[in-house]
A and B are shown apart, each in its own frame.
Chain A
Amino acid sequence: MAFDPLRRALLTGLAGAGLLALAPRQSPAATGLAVREIADGVFVFQGVSEMATPKNHGAVANLGFVVGREAVAAIDSGGSLVEGLALLAAIRATTDRPVRFLVATHMHPDHIFGNAAFRDAGATIVGHRNLPRALAARGDHYLKSYRRQLGEELMKGIEIVLPSMLVEDRLEIDLGGRVLELRAWEAAHTDNDVTIYDVSSKVLFAGDLVFLGHVPTLDGSLLGWMRQIPQLAAIPARAVVAGHGEAPADWPAALDPQLRYFGVLAGDLRQAIAAGTPLAKAVKTAGRAERDAWKLFDEYNERNATAAYAELEWE
């Protein structure tokens, strides 16, 4: 793939942050995100557990790619075009097989803001049947609110790019001697979560259906998430790449911390709702016992509690 000057500049901009091992004169094709091979042909970039900022280039989510005999599938494109291009460069540095697919695990900007890089590289973007609707409702708002968070410079070139292949329920992607099993879930973290299971390595890319270390964020249905955890746990993976936090991790043990958090949060809220405590007051204290167990708890817990309260009061 040819890199135009803008892309080169974007990539060079990343080098200073240590995200990229990219020297100005080096060929972009030989560099990229610092990925690790966690199983044969399975590569992971681990994002930092921080809020997206200009400094971290929005690179806060875990990304990955899987190399088959004939083609490559990337999993999530990152929180900026810069990061998407850097992931693409990391793939180029690893293999010359074509990047035929980009699977979007869900709608959130830290997972899809690099989509344009993959579209331009000719990849088919794959997502949940609900993803187009979800992005139609949020895309403009994401672009606006992240301009505030990431800054004009990093927002350059970021587009909301919709999937052109949808996962209704299950979908298999064949990379040549290597099958990825995609599964569309009912509302949980969002209402458009997809997981990717690489059968040959037994690695599960769980997207944001699994959080480790970084407090889970709720933008779908707490009850749906809790209800589907047994089905999730039944996937015969030996390791999981969570959407945020340590990757890889043991499976299904990686589900335990978030299950505990959900239990505390739901328990506190059910008690408050039964007592008639209004939302604005209840969300100040719900889930507090979990505060020391998670990064970014203060940034997200009250939001989670707000969404969960509104859901649980219908029980």
Chain B
Amino acid sequence: MVEAGKVDMARSKPLLIDGDIEMQLPTPASRRRLRWPTAASAILLSLAAVAGLPGMAAAQQTMASSDKIWAGLRGDVFGDRNILADTGLVRLEAPKRAQDAALVPVDIYLDPSRAPGGVKSVTLIIDANPAPVAATFQFGPDAGVTRLSTRVRVDDYSYIRAIAENADGELHMASTFIKASGGCSAPAVKNTAEALASMGKMKLRQFAPQSEGNMTKAQELQLMIRHPNNSGLQRDPLTQYFIPPHFVRTLSISQADRPILSMEGGISISEDPNFRFDFTAQGDGEIRVEAVDTDGQVFKDQWPLQAVGL
């Protein structure tokens, strides 16, 4: 058996992962660090930003260094577009200190009064993670989503950012600094056997409207998908090859055949991806969900709309 941290150079050939990204096994001099030649998507591209930092394995990020990562990253994700900070259109809540690095709850709030034309999308970024772009969420034009909660992995002290795009194409950002959990808490899958055994299983919970008395049918959904959402940033202990990343790449949720919420996700979303959000129901058409992972596996399910509390 090859020892941890040792790279068998005889096997050091480029690995093809995710179709269009070529990943090199690190040379001994830079082992533990990944080098990504060219990047093809925002999610994987953003790995390069961190991989290029010296001493990544040892450094502890600060607010300033997190901002520095962000400065290098924002152009890759948003080009030279202006980003307005703390306008109140989008708000972000996360614990000041992560308890479990693998499961950090994040709540995103959108203020409809500040976005009369609606919000088209929200991009969730964790600066110091190996893959900083955790997810981009798109909302259907009449979906009425004002709250969205999910769970993310947090590798290090970092800002978490939510950047919302309104109907006019303006970008609004909210951010909060989070201290990574200490000690033995790691952003890794806890029970791999279980995660793989029930992969693709979905569960939908429907909650009653929170505001009583008005005519809106806004209600709350919680969608849960069993999936290890593996990072791939780890070497197989036996072969020393990098284990290919395996995560839910896209997700779409519709009700009565109209789009409510879709996601393009990455490895910073926790195992068993979990999304809780409010939305405005129309008619009594069913809720359909489709998810596709990096292996091309498609997971589908559907549920009747419950007349909860109406």
Cα–Cα, bound, A110→B107 (Å)? 33
**A133 lies within 8 A of B237 (CB):** yes
The answer to whether the Cβ of B188 comes within 8 Å of any Cβ in the partner chain is yes
How many whole Å from B140's CB to the nearest CB in chain A?
23
How many whole Å from B308's CB to the nearest CB in chain A?
10
Known: A108-B184, A191-B190, A278-B105. Is A139-B58 also a contact (CB below 8 A)? no
The answer to whether the Cβ of A161 comes within 8 Å of any Cβ in the partner chain is yes
How many whole Å from A16's CB to the nearest CB in chain B?
24
Q: Give the residues in chain A near B214, CB-CB below 8 Å.
A: none
> Hey, what's the 0/1 contact readout for B191-219 against A, CB within 8 Å counting as 1?
11110000000010101000000000000
Chain B interface size, as a band, is 35 or more
In the complex, what residue of chain B is closest to A163 when comparing beta carbons?
B1
| CB-contact partner of A302 in B60, B99, B234, under 8 A | B99
> Hey, what's the 0/1 contact readout for A131-142 against B, CB within 8 Å counting as 1?
011111111111
A118-150 residues at the B interface, CB under 8 angstroms:
130, 132-149
Q: Give the residues in chain A near B57, CB-CB below 8 Å.
A: 140, 143-144
| CB-contact partner of A149 in B3, B100, B183, B237, under 8 A | B183
**A149 lies within 8 A of B182 (CB):** yes
In the complex, what residue of chain A is closest to B206 when comparing beta carbons?
A276
B35-91 residues at the A interface, CB under 8 angstroms:
57-58, 60
Cα–Cα, bound, A141→B235 (Å)? 13
A194-239 residues at the B interface, CB under 8 angstroms:
217, 219-221, 224
The answer to whether the Cβ of A285 comes within 8 Å of any Cβ in the partner chain is no
How many whole Å from B177's CB to the nearest CB in chain A?
16
**A142 lies within 8 A of B234 (CB):** no
The answer to whether the Cβ of B4 comes within 8 Å of any Cβ in the partner chain is yes
Q: Give the residues in chain B near A217, CB-CB below 8 Å.
A: 184
Cα–Cα, bound, A176→B276 (Å)? 58
**B99 lies within 8 A of A139 (CB):** no
Cα–Cα, bound, A279→B95 (Å)? 12
**B151 lies within 8 A of A310 (CB):** yes
In the complex, what residue of chain B is closest to A279 when comparing beta carbons?
B105
The answer to whether the Cβ of B282 comes within 8 Å of any Cβ in the partner chain is no
| CB-contact partner of A109 in B101, B184, B274, under 8 A | B184
What is the predominant secondary structure among interface residues of chain A facing chain B? helix
Cα–Cα, bound, A135→B234 (Å)? 9
Q: Give the residues in chain A near B112, CB-CB below 8 Å.
A: none
Cα–Cα, bound, A217→B235 (Å)? 26
Cα–Cα, bound, A186→B181 (Å)? 26
Known: A140-B32, A276-B207, A310-B274. Is A161-B190 also a contact (CB below 8 A)? no
How many whole Å from A190's CB to the nearest CB in chain B?
8
In the complex, what residue of chain B is closest to A165 when comparing beta carbons?
B1
| CB-contact partner of B186 in A138, A161, A221, A278, under 8 A | A138
**B184 lies within 8 A of A142 (CB):** yes
The answer to whether the Cβ of B180 comes within 8 Å of any Cβ in the partner chain is yes
Chain A count of residues within 8 A CB distance of the other chain: 51
**B191 lies within 8 A of A148 (CB):** no
**B105 lies within 8 A of A303 (CB):** no
Cα–Cα, bound, A186→B191 (Å)? 9
Q: Give the residues in chain A near B185, CB-CB below 8 Å.
A: 145, 219, 303
In the complex, what residue of chain B is closest to A132 when comparing beta carbons?
B237
Cα–Cα, bound, A51→B151 (Å)? 26
A-side residues, CB < 8 A to B, are 51-52, 108-110, 130, 132-149, 159-162, 164, 186-187, 190-191, 217, 219-221, 224, 276, 278-280, 283, 302-303, 305-307, 310, 313-314
Known: A137-B189, A307-B103. 18 other contacts (CB 8 A): A108-B184, A109-B183, A109-B184, A130-B192, A132-B237, A136-B236, A139-B5, A140-B32, A141-B101, A141-B155, A141-B186, A149-B182, A162-B3, A164-B1, A190-B190, A279-B151, A283-B99, A313-B203
B-side residues, CB < 8 A to A, are 1, 3-5, 32, 57-58, 60, 93, 95, 99-103, 105, 107, 149, 151, 155-156, 180-194, 203, 205, 207, 220, 224, 226, 231, 234-238, 243, 270, 272, 274, 276
Query: Can you name 17 A-B pairs with beta carbons within 8 Å?
Result: A51-B183, A133-B192, A141-B188, A161-B4, A187-B193, A187-B194, A191-B191, A224-B191, A278-B105, A278-B107, A278-B276, A280-B107, A302-B99, A306-B103, A307-B103, A313-B203, A313-B224
